[in-house]
Structure 1
Amino acid sequence: MDFNEMKTIGLSDIIEGETEFLPLMGGNEELPMDDADVPKQLPILPLRNTVLFPGVMIPITVGREKSIKLINEAYSGTKLIGVVSQVDGAIEDPTFDDLFKTGVMAQVVKVLKMPDDSTTVIIQGRNRIALDSEVQSQPYFIANVTPLLSDVIIDNNEEFKALMDSIKDMSLKAIKLNPNIPSDAGFAIKNIESPTFLVNFISSNLNSSLEDKQKLLEITDLTERAQTLLGMLSKEIQMLELKNQIQDKVKLDLDKQQRDYFLNQQLKTIQDELGGSPHEQEIIELKKKAEKKKWSKEVKDVFEKELAKLSRMNPMAAEFSIHHNYLETLVDLPWNEFSNDNFDLKKAGKILDDDHYGLDKIKERILEYLAVLKLKGDMKSPILCFVGPPGVGKTSLGKSIARALNREYIRMALGGLRDEAEIRGHRKTYIGAMPGRIIQSLKKAKKSNPVFVLDEIDKVVGGNVSGDPASALLEVLDPEQNSSFYDNYLEVEYDLSKIMFVATANSLSSIHPALRDRMEIIDLSGYLIQEKIEIAKRHLIPKQLEEHGFKKNQLVFKKPVLERIIEDYTAESGVRTLDKHIAKIIRNRAKFLVMDEAFDKELSLEDLRTIMGPPRFQKDKAISNEHAGVVTGLAWTSVGGVILFVEVSLSRGKGQFTMTGSLGDVMKESATVAYKYLRAHSEELNIPQKAFEKWDVHIHIPEGATPKDGPSAGITFFTALASAFTQRKLKNKIAMTGELTLRSKVLPVGGIKEKILAAKRAGIKEIILSSENKKDIHEISEKYIKGLTFHFVDNVMEVADLALLKTKVKNPIRF
C-alpha cells in the first residue's frame, strides 16, 4: 500500500509528474455519497497516473492552462467538476477519446496560490459517474454525464462483515510489512466505520496499476468490489513478504560487489539529475552512428537486435561491456564505404615509376587492372603474390600501388602467424574476444577497398593446436568466396571482394598449394648492378640524405663508388644491404660536418675503403679451364642466384665414390645419377671401364659450411665427371643448370632469371639449359640476357659435346 506523510504535493507530481501522491480523508466521508444531485453536464478534469475514488480527498497542483481555467471557474461557481483518468498518462494534451468513460463527480474544496506562482487545489470525490458524450473541448472539456447506480450497504450480513474485517486485517498487515508507511495509517483504517468509504479509501491507497484501480472504480456491486480488493491486497502482501525476504538475505550477505552496485545505482541517479548517465549517452551515440551507415538489411537487423538487448542490460553486468564492444565494432566498420580510384592511367604509371625503378611487369599488371575497372565500373580486385628474394621492394611496392590507385594502405605481417583466430577472430562470448586482424585493419582504414599487403605469406605456421591459418586464408584470398567473408566475432558476412590483396613471399615452396592456386604469381628477381646503381641514385641516396639532415649537394656518390659498394660490400639480389652501407657512409660524413672538419663532398674510392674497410666479398668469377673436372654451375638461393663450382678429383683406389660440401639428399642423388649414367655409357666418351674400378672419385662443392640441395646440378655433375675421366678441357666461360635422369634426359629447373643474373655478374658468356626452359628466356627482358649465348639441350650427351673441348689438360692422368 502507498500511505505516506500528509504533505503538500504538486499537481505536476500527480497529473503531469511521476511521483506518487497522498489521498486524504474528507470531513464528510461518513455521509451518504449518492444523495447529491448530479448535474447532466459537468466540466471534466483529466488526471494522469491516478484514480480518484468517492469520499477521498487529494491535493493536486494544476499545471495545464485548460485545467487552471476549469478550476477557477468551478471554484467561483458550483464547485462541482468531473474527474476522469487518462488511458495513457504520457499524452500531454488528451482528447475526449483518450479518457476512461467512468470517473467521479468531485467537489473543489480549496484553491491555494503557492509561493512559486503555482495553483494547488484540494478536491474530494463524491459520486461515481459515466461519461456519455462530449459537449465541448475548449477552453476545457464539458461532457454529458450519468450517475452510476448507488453502492448498496448491506446490514446484518455476517459474510459481508467478515469480508470487511478481512480487508481491514490485510490492510493493517500490509502497513506493518511496509516500513515506508507511517503507523498513523493503521490508526486511520481502524476508525473508518463506513464499509463503502473503507473500500474506496484502501482502493485509493493500493499500490496497484492505474488499470487495476480503474477496474475497482467501475465495479458497482460493493461486495464484488470488496472481493476484488481483497485479492489485490493478498497479492500485494505476498510481494511485500517476498521483498522483505530478499532484503533480509541481502542484509545477511552484503559483500563488496553488492555495495558497489548500490553505490553505482546512486551515482546513476545523480548522473540522471545532471543530464543523463554515460551508458545511456553511449547508446544514443551508437544510434547516431548507425543512422549514417550504408549496411545491408541483415546487418541492420543484427545491430538493432543487439542494441535493444544492450539497452535492457544492467551496466554493471559483465555482458554489458561485451555487447557494447561488439556494437562499437559494427558501427566503426566501413560498410560499403569506398575510396575513389584514380583512373588517370598516365598519372598512376608516373607514380609507380617515381617510387620504383624497373619492375615493368608488375606496373603493367596494375595499369591493366585500372583500365578494366574504368571500363567496367565494378570488378573483383586481383589477388597478387610477389615472389622474390629479400630487399627487392615487394612490400614497398604495395604502398606504391595504394598511392597510384588513391586507396588506403594496410600491411599485415604474417611471419610466424600460428593462430587461426588471428584471421577469423574469436567468438564474442569469450573474455577478451576480438575480431580477426583483417576486420581490425579495415576498421582502422575506414574504407572497404584498400590495398591490403599480406607480408611474408610463405612464413605462416600451419597445422597446430591453434588451427591452420593458411587454411583460413583460403576464403580470404578466393575471389569467389571473399564477398561473404565470415568473421567469428562479427557473426555476419563482410564483403572483401573490393580489397586489392597483395601477398609477398620469398619462396613458393612453403605456401599451401590450394592457397598458391588462388593467387596470381608475379616473380621479382634480383637487380643487375646497373639497376642497383639507378635505384641508389633515384631513391636510396636522396632518402638517406634527407633522414640524416644533409642537403642534396652536400655529398655526392659517383657511379664507380656505387659500383664498388655493390660488388665488394654486398652479396644480395635486392638493395637492403646497399641502403645500410649508404647510410653508414653518410653518418661518417655527418661527423665531419658537425665538427666543422673539411671533407671532400665527392666520395672517392679511397674514402670508401677508409670508411668501409677492406672488401667483404670476392666477386664470383668464372675460373680458367686449365684443370679437368671443374665445372661452373648455377644455383638459386633465397637471396638470389649464385654460381657454384663442382670439383671432381680422381685418386688410385678401389672405385669408391665420395661427396662433400654439405650436400643435401637430393643433390647427392643427382651426383649418383650422373656417376652411374657416365659409368653405364663410358664407351661413348672413350672411357675404359677399369678406370671406374681402380680410381676413387671425390666430388666436392666449395663453401662446405653452406648447405646445398636440389636437382638442378645434375648436368653439372655429369660434365665435371666426364671432364675428369676424359681429362678434356672445358670451354671457357661456360655455365650450366639442369636436372639429369637415368634416361639421359635434361629436365627444366626454376629460378632461371636469378641464375642468369649471377652468370652475368661472374662474367659467363655461354649458358646451357634444358630445351623446356626456353619459354623462361622469352619472358626475361632483353637487357638481362644481352651478351649471353644460350644452348638448349634435351640429352646429356649434347651437354658433353657443347662443354668439352677435344684438347686435354696439361699433364693428364693415364688410366
Structure 2
Amino acid sequence: MTTTETSRKIPLLPLRGVLVFPGMVLHLDVGRDKSVRAIEQVMADDQKIILASQIDFSIDEPEKDDLYETGTLAYVKQMLKMPNGTTRILVEGLQRAAIHEFIENQHFYEVNAEMLPIAEDNQAEVTALQRKVLEHFEQYAKLSSKISDETVTSVRDMEEPGYFADILASHLPLEVKRKQEILEAVDIKERLQQLLEILTNEKEVLGIEQKIGQRVKKSMEKTQKEYYLREQMKAIQKELGDKEGKGEEVETLRTQIEEAQMPENVEEKAHKELTRYERVPAASAESSVIRTYLDWLVALPWHEETTDQLDLENAEQVLDEDHYGLEKVKERVLEHLAVQQLTQSLRGPILCLTGPPGVGKTSLAKSVARSLGREFVRISLGGVRDEAEIRGHRRTYVGALPGKMIQGMKSAGVVNPVFLLDEVDKMANDFRGDPSSALLEVLDPEQNHQFGDHYIEETYDLSNVMFITTANNISAIPAPLYDRMEPISIAGYTEIEKKEIAINHLLPKQLEAHGLSKSHLQIKDDSLVKVIRYYTREAGVRNLERELATICRKAAKMIVTGEKKKVIVTVNTVENMLGKPRMRYGQVEEKDQVGAATGLAYTTAGGDTLSIEVSLSKGKGELTLTGHLGDVMKESARAAFSYIRSSADELGIDEDFYENIDIHIHVPEGATPKDGPSAGITMATALISAITGRAVKKEVGMTGELTLRGRVLPIGGVKEKSMSAHRAGLTKILLPKDNEKDLDDIPNSIRNDMSVVLVSHLDEVIQHALEAPSHERS
C-alpha cells in the first residue's frame, strides 16, 4: 500500500517493546487509558494513527523525550474489547512518519507528524543489494530454527525494494533500538546495507553457536557413556561381592577433586591419575602410591584464603600486647598492612629476623600472623641437609613425600598463611644437595608463584604467602639467599626492657604454668633487677625465664608444705631462692690496669665484652698470641704491633723497644673461639699501655679495626656492642667515626647512662683510653 500524505495533526499510540514497520500487519493489545481513547478517536475518524516506540519500556506515562522521533503511520483495521479490560487492535503499517511536535491534549497523545516519502535511488545498485541481502537471508534461515520456509518464500517473491527491506527486518530477532535505526533509514540503499551487515554478523554468531552446541552434545554423550559404563561396573562388582572393586572410593575421590577447585592443569592430572587408580588392582603397590598422591592433591589448599585484618590500630595493639620494644619490626609489619590496604593486593614480603637466641624471633612471627588474622605455620630448617626436604622426593622412590613447603601449606589449609622458616642459617649441604639453593625459588617473589615440588609435579603458587625467616648468624646465610630477604635486626633487650617483659609476659606465664597466682607470689621490682643483673647475662630473656621458673617452683613448695601462705621475694631473699650471684654486674676492672683493655665484640649470642691483656718479658722480640683466636684477630694483633713499631717516635717509645722483650697478647676464656675484624684498636691500646706503662681507664670500652697508618675503620653490630658495654657497667665507649650513622640504633636508655666518643685515628683512642703520662699528671 502506498500513501503520499504530508504533515498533519494525528493521534499517537506509544508502543512498549515492539516496533511496526510499513507493510506489517499485526495485533496489538492496548491497556493504558490515553492509548485506548486515542484508538477510539481514530476509529470514529479515518482510522489512521501514529505508532512510535518508547526508548525506556518501564515508563507508564511517556513524555516527548521518552519516544523515538521517527514512527510509523498505521491503519487500524479492527478494534475488539477483551474480557480482561484491554483492547485488541489489528494494525497495518503504511508509511514512515517524523514527529515534529506534541500537541496539548489531556485525553490522548496527539502530535504533528510529517509523512516521509520514499527516497529515489539508483535502481540497478538497489536491485543488486536486494539480491545480496536475499542470498544472506536464505543462508541465515538455514542456520536459524526461528525462520520458516514459508517466510523465506514470501520474502523471495517481493519485488519492491523498500517493502522487501521492511518486511525482512520485521522477521529478524533484533532489539527495538536496532530496528529503530532501520526505520529511521529513509534511503532504501542505506536500509539494505544495514540489513546486509546485520545478516552477516548474525550468520557468524549462529555458526559459532552451532559449533558450541555440537561440542556440548559430544561432551554430554561422552559423559552419559562413562556414567552408563560406571553403573555397569558397579553392578558387576556388586554381583561379585566387590572383592576388587573401588567404586565408592573412586566416586568419593572424584567428588573431592571437583570440589577442590584446582587449576585446570592440576585437575586434569588428578582425573588422569584417578583413571589409572581405578584400573590398577587394589593389591598392587602402585595403587597405594597413586592413592597417596591423590590424597595430597585434594588436601592442598588451592583457593581457600583468610581475609587480612587491615586494621592498623588493632594490629598495633596485638603486637604491643605480645612483645615489648622491637619498634622496627612492628613498624615494618604495620607498613606492610598500610600498603596492602591501599593496593588491595601485595605479594608477601620475605622478612628475616636476625639476632641472638631468646630475643623473641619465633614468637614475634606468631604475633605477626595474629595481627594479620592469618594462619601460622612453622618449620625448622636447623640441620636440614637434603634438597628433597624442600622440593620433595619424586614419586618413583619408596616412601616419597612432598617437601616441607607443601607439607606446611597443607597444614595451614589456606593459600596465604604466615610461614616461618626457623633457623635458616643452620642448614648444611652434602652429597644429597644444597637445601639453601632450593630455598632460592621459594623466597623469590618473581619465581615462587610457580614453585615446583618433585612429588606434586605440578606448579604451586606461593606468592600469597608471607614468609618470615629467623637466623642467629647472618654470615652463615649464603649471599644469594640472603639477597632475597629483608633483614630486620633484633639486637637484644636493655635492662629496662627485660624488666618490663618479665612483669608483663614472663612472670604471668610462669605463674600460670606452676599453678600460682599473684596472691601466692609477689616479686618486687628491685628483686627483678637483681635477678637480671646478677643471675643472667644474655641478649634475650630465655635464662631470665628459667630463673623466674625456679623462683615459682620454690614458692610452690613453700605454699604446699604450709611454710608460707604468700611468698614475697625481696632483694634480700633472692639469694635464698637462687643461690649466690653467678654474675658480677659490671665486668669492668676495679681499678685502672696497665696492659689490659676492654673491647666490645659481636657474637651469635649478642654483644659481649672482651678483655685483652698484654704482658712483657725479657726476650728477643717474639710476639705470642693465645686465647683460641681466629686468623682475623691474629692479623689485627700483628697490624697493631707493626703500627706501634712504625710510630714509636710519635708514641714516645724507643724505636728498638721490641729487640729485648717478648710480647704476649692473651684473650681470656681460651676455650671459646674468637674472631672478627673489630679488635684492632683494643689490641693496639693494650700494647701501648704495656710498653709505655700508662694505665687504661677502667670505665672505657672500645671497638674498631686499625690500618697500618693508624686509621680507625668502621665495624658492625653497634647496637649489640653498646648494649653489652652497658651490661658490663662501662660508662664510655669509643666507636669509629664512620659509624656515626649507627648511633640512632642505640636505645636512649643506654645513651643516657653512657657517653659515646667517635674516633678516626689511634691518637684519639689513646687520648681517651689511657691515663696521661706521669710527668703530665704531676
In the alignment, structure 1 residue 782 sits paired with structure 2 residue 737: no
Gap regions ≥5 residues in structure 2: 1-233
Matched residue, 1:353:
320
Q: Take 1:778 and 1:494, find their aligned partners in 2: how far apart are those partners? A: 42
> 2:436 aligned to 446, 470, 489, which one?
470
2:368 to 394, 401, 412: 401
- Hey, what does 1:377 align to over in structure 2? 344
CA distance in structure 1 between the aligned counterparts of 2:581 and 2:774, rounded to whole angstroms: 36
Q: Partner residue of 1:630?
A: 596
Please tell me whether residue 577 in structure 1 is matched to residue 543 in structure 2: yes
Inter-partner Cα distance in structure 2 for 1:756 and 1:426: 47
Where in structure 2 are the equivalents of 1:312-351 lying within 5 Å? Answer: 312-351=279-318
Instruction: Please tell me the residue identity of whatever aligns with 1:371.
Output: A
**Which letter maps to 2:668?**
P
Contact 1:271-1:277 at 8 Å conserved across structures: no
Q: Offset at 1:583?
A: 1.0
**Structure 1 residues 307 and 779: CA distance shift in structure 2, 3 A:** same
Contact 1:420 1:467 (8 Å CA) reproduced: yes
Q: 2:634 aligned with 1:668, yes or no?
A: yes
The equivalent residue for 2:656 is 690
What amino acid does structure 1 have at the position aligned with 2:376? Y
Correspondence for 2:424: 457
The answer on whether the counterparts of 2:348 and 2:467 sit within 8 Å (CA) in structure 1 is yes
Residue 270 of structure 1 and its aligned partner are, at CA, apart by 7.7
Q: What's 1:591 paired with?
A: 557
Verify the 8 A CA contact 1:626 1:810 in the aligned structure 2: no
Aligned-partner Cα distance in 1 for 2:472–2:423: 7
Report the CA distance between 1:599 and its aligned residue. 5.0
Indicate yes or no: 2:355 matched with 1:388: yes
Aligned to 1:543: 509
- Normalising by structure 1, we get a TM-score of 0.65
**2:725 is aligned with 1:762:** no
Quote the offset at 1:440 in angstroms: 1.1
Cα displacement (A) at 1:434? 0.9
Counterpart in the other structure of 1:639 = 605
Residue 435 (structure 1) aligned with residue 402 (structure 2):
yes
**Contact 2:304 2:414 (C-alpha < 8 Å) held by counterparts:** yes
CA distance in 2 between counterparts of 1:493 and 1:785 reads 52
TM-score by length of 2: 0.68
Say which SS state the counterpart of residue 753 (structure 2) adopts.
coil
Counterpart in the other structure of 2:494: 528
**Residue 678 of structure 1 aligns with which residue?**
644
Identity of aligned residues (%): 48
Displacement after TM superposition at 1:616 (Å)? 1.4
Amino acid paired to 1:412: I
Whether contact under 8 Å (1:424, 1:472) holds in the other structure is yes
User: Root-mean-square deviation (CA), in Å?
Assistant: 2.3
CA distance in 1, matches of 2:512, 2:745: 38
Q: Deviations over 1:463-497 (max 9, x none)?
A: x1111101100100111110100000111110101
State the distance in 1 between where 2:775 and 2:525 align.
41
Structure 1 runs (4+) deviating above 3 angstroms are: 267-278, 729-732, 807-812
Distance 1:478 1:713 in 2: 37
**Residue 359 of structure 2 contacts residue 490 of structure 2 at CA under 8 Å; is this kept in 1?**
yes
Q: CA deviation at 1:354?
A: 0.4
1:95-139: CA deviation from partner (whole Å, max 9, x where unpaired): xxxxxxxxxxxxxxxxxxxxxxxxxxxxxxxxxxxxxxxxxxxxx
Q: Does 1:513 align with 2:485?
A: no
Correspondence 1:8-27 to 2 at 5 A: none
Q: 1:741 to 1:268 in 2, by over 3 A?
A: farther
Query: Residue 494 of structure 1 aligns to which amino acid in structure 2?
Result: Y
379, 385, 390: which one aligns with 1:412: 379
Corresponding residue to 2:334 among 367, 380, 401 = 367
Distance in 1, Cα, partners of 2:565 & 2:534: 23
Kindly state the Cα deviation for residue 525 of structure 1 after the two structures are TM-superposed: 0.7
* Length, aligned pairs only: 546
**Equivalents in 2 of 1:487, 1:352: separation in Å?**
34
Shift of 1:342: 0.8
Corresponding residue of 1:285: 252
Q: By how many angstroms is 1:727 displaced?
A: 1.8
Shift of 1:447: 0.6
Tell me the residue number matched to 2:30.
none
Matched residue type, 1:712: S
Structure 1: tracts of 5 or more residues without a match: 1-266
**Closer, same or farther: CA 275–339 of 1 in aligned 2, 3 Å:** farther
Q: Which amino acid aligns with 1:439?
A: I
Distance 1:530 1:727 in 2: 39
Instruction: Give, in angstroms, the shift of residue 278 of structure 1.
Output: 6.9
Distance of 2:301 and 2:505 partners within structure 1? 35
**Equivalent of 1:479, from 445, 450, 455?**
445
Name the aligned partner's letter for residue 636 of structure 2: S
The structure having more radius of gyration, on CA atoms, is 1
Inter-partner Cα distance in structure 1 for 2:572 and 2:557? 18
The answer on whether the counterparts of 2:352 and 2:471 sit within 8 Å (CA) in structure 1 is: yes
Question: 1:809 and 1:768 mapped to 2: Cα distance?
Answer: 25
Cα deviation for residue 787 of structure 1 reads 2.8
Letter in 2 for 1:775: K
Q: Distance in 2 between matches of 1:624 and 1:552?
A: 40
* Contact residue 625 and residue 730 of structure 1 kept, 8 A: no
Q: Partner of 1:556: helix, strand, or coil?
A: strand
- The 2-side partners of 1:444 and 1:268 are apart by 39
Is the deviation greater in 297-306 or in 339-348? 297-306
1:25 alignment counterpart: none
1-structure distance, mates of 2:563, 2:586: 39
* CA deviation after TM superposition for structure 1 residue 643, in Å: 1.3
